[in-house]
Amino acid sequence: MVKLLQNCKEHDAALACAQASVKRWAKSVEAWLLLLELLIGRGPGAEDALKAFEDALSAISKQESLPVWRRATEFLSSEVPEETIPFLEKALFYPNDVCIWAKEKLLELKCLYHGYNAARKFYKRMLNLKPLSVNFFQRMIDLENSRVQPDADNLRSYFEHAVAEFGGSNVDVWMKYILFELKHPEGKPEQAGVLYHRAVKTLDDDLTNHFISAYSLMDTRKL
């Protein structure tokens, strides 16, 4: 019905219908997203949309809230950037999928709005607030590499944090760490063998052969 009213250019009626839908199906993520899109589409009035996002997050299940967090972040980043970080920090106390996504996004936003040092400070704080993700570490590595003069010691510490957290279950974190030492101008190629043996000892048994094969291919290509 809402879509039909939109197609007929009955915007006020469509909005009223969407508002009625969220009252009737208050826990429906789809109903809230539709209402939010209508409010955003009306143009100026960020406060109304922000309140609607807060109402939506209060009504729906936290376990199903990620699409709303994503849309809210897109909207706020575009319309009221100064509100984005304070709003998104509330997601740090949500279930794992939301929390992990929020940490990755906040890391980017801290750097975008406040610079690398703010992102690094946030990164260090999050190390003690689990859960974390491989992407969280990768994004910090990417932020370091985007600097005019990336710090090799910083990069090495990020790789160490990543293997400490995921070294038993993720082959790629070891491979990227080894490649860093082999290819970075300030890398330590002699550490490749040390990292290889650490990885073999640390990885789960069902991943060890995969790692050994990947390392052998890398070695034969003389990377």
Q: What is the pLDDT of residue 40?
A: 86
Contact assessment for residue 211 and residue 199, using Cβ atoms and an 8 Å cutoff: yes
Q: What is the pLDDT of residue 61?
A: 97
55-95 pLDDT per residue, tens: 999 999 999 999 999 999 999 999 889 999 999 999 999 99
> Both tokens of residue 66?
């990620």
Helix 205-220 and helix 171-183: axis angle, to 10°?
30
Q: What is the pLDDT of residue 12?
A: 67
Work out how many domains the chain is built from and give that number: 1
Q: Is 214 exposed, middle or buried (0-12, 13-18, 19+ CB in 10 A)?
A: middle
Is 209 contained in some domain? yes
Is 115 contained in some domain? no
Is 142 contained in some domain? yes
> Both tokens of residue 113?
């709005």
Is 211 contained in some domain? yes
* pLDDT of 107 higher than 80: yes
Q: What is the pLDDT of residue 17?
A: 81
* pLDDT of 32 higher than 90: yes
Is 55 contained in some domain? no
pTM of the model as a whole: 0.88
9-19 pLDDT per residue, tens: 445 677 778 88
129-163 pLDDT per residue, tens: 999 999 999 999 999 999 999 999 999 999 999 99
Is 137 contained in some domain? yes
> Both tokens of residue 139?
């994004």
Of residues 45 and 87, more confidence is placed in 87
Q: What is the mean pLDDT of the chain?
A: 90
Is 198 contained in some domain? yes
| Distance separating the N- and C-terminal Cα atoms of the chain | 59
Which domain, by its residues, includes 207? Answer: 133-223
Is 218 contained in some domain? yes
